[in-house]
Structure 1
Amino acid sequence: MAVDNLSRTDVTSGEEPRLLIPALGGLYAALANPADVILRIAAGFPLILHGYGKITNPFGAIEMVERIGFYPGVFWSPMLAVGEFFSGILLTLGFLTRPAAAVALVILLVTVYFHWIVAGQGFAGSEKSILWSAILFAILVRGGRALSVDRAIGREV
């Protein structure tokens, strides 16, 4: 039985589905690279902002990290600060994009656990972290793509 080409993309063949409105094809193609940059900035810049307070006071989150089970806090608090702040910078630049996305994704999945389980807030308390995690997962899989330092130097992890 043949599958309608409008309903899916066969990732193994590399074929794109036909557009219902073909005239939009040029617009989509023109916006593909800026969309990748916007996603990287949308994921990375807030990490820089969240991480800035931690990087200026790397031992300030000791109690928080221990409360969610990361001992010793004197080790994990600075690791959180470095991970959050520098992965945000790297994501925004598109440099070492996949490792930066992996680090940030782990941090965000821990925040999902914290808000959902530890704080008992369920989905309502963790939905932003879930969405942020989904964006980071997409970046992890796709890499820096065009308009990234990774692409400019011709190397990606």
Structure 2
Amino acid sequence: MKLASLFPAPPSKTASVGLLLLRVVSGVAFMMHGWGKIQDPFNWMGPQAPTPGFLQALAALSEFGGGLAWVLGALVPLASFGIFCTMAFATFFHAVVRGDPFVSKGAGGSYEPALLYLVVAVVMLTVGPGLYSVDAWLRKRLARS
């Protein structure tokens, strides 16, 4: 595996500030969404859930662990892939299976948050975490070796 595929070259300083803000805010939100799930990762959907426990655990890990990875800017491609998969499923579930609207007009669900996080994951996968991240630091250190 090439170094560039694991740690993409960071964009400009200005763009990196934007990515830092996006990563930290989205990452903290994801950690908050995943906190309750990570407490009981194999059964957070309840005993009658049609989703197998190992898939529930993957979702809990991608939300809490992926959020932490985004905050730190560490292993962002891997974390983003996990979040992408989780949010693709959530978007499909809310939009197609449940038929929720894009934006909720009341107490019902919507697929807006899942789709928004899915798009953030695509940005992190394609652009990377930016200069102000553990990944950029590692890239620089490994390039010297």
State the TM-score, normalized to the length of structure 1: 0.70
Alignment partner for residue 31 of structure 2, among 6, 26, 48?
48
Judge conservation of contact 1:43–1:136 (CA < 8 Å) in 2. Answer: no
Task: Compute the RMSD of aligned alpha carbons.
Answer: 2.1
Aligned to 1:32: 15
Distance in structure 1 (CA, Å) of the matches to 2:93 and 2:23? 24
The structure, 1 or 2, with the larger RCO (C-alpha pairs under 8 Å, 6+ apart) is 2
Aligned to 2:5: none
> How much has 1:63 moved relative to structure 2?
5.3
Distance in structure 2 (CA, Å) of the matches to 1:143 and 1:60? 31
Q: Deviations over 1:110-153 (max 9, x none)?
A: 11111111221132311222122112101111112200000111
Alignment partner for residue 120 of structure 1, among 91, 94, 99?
99
Which shifted more, 57-66 or 111-120? 57-66
Choose 1 or 2 for highest CA Rg.
1
Aligned to 2:115: 130
Distance in structure 2 (CA, Å) of the matches to 1:118 and 1:63? 20
Distance in structure 1 (CA, Å) of the matches to 2:48 and 2:76? 28
Secondary structure of the residue aligned to 1:147 is coil
Unmatched runs of 5 consecutive residues or more in structure 1: 1-28
Alignment partner for residue 111 of structure 1, among 90, 103, 114?
90
Judge conservation of contact 2:13–2:131 (CA < 8 Å) in 1. Answer: no
Alignment of 1:76-91 (within 5 A): 76-91=55-70
Q: Deviations over 1:51-109 (max 9, x none)?
A: 1001112122255862xxx4xx2222222211211011001111001111111011111
Aligned to 1:61: 45
Overall identity of the aligned pairs, in % = 25
What is the letter of the counterpart of residue 61 of structure 1?
M
Alignment partner for residue 143 of structure 1, among 103, 123, 128?
128
Secondary structure of the residue aligned to 2:65 is helix
Q: Which runs of 4+ in 1 moved over 3 A?
A: 62-65
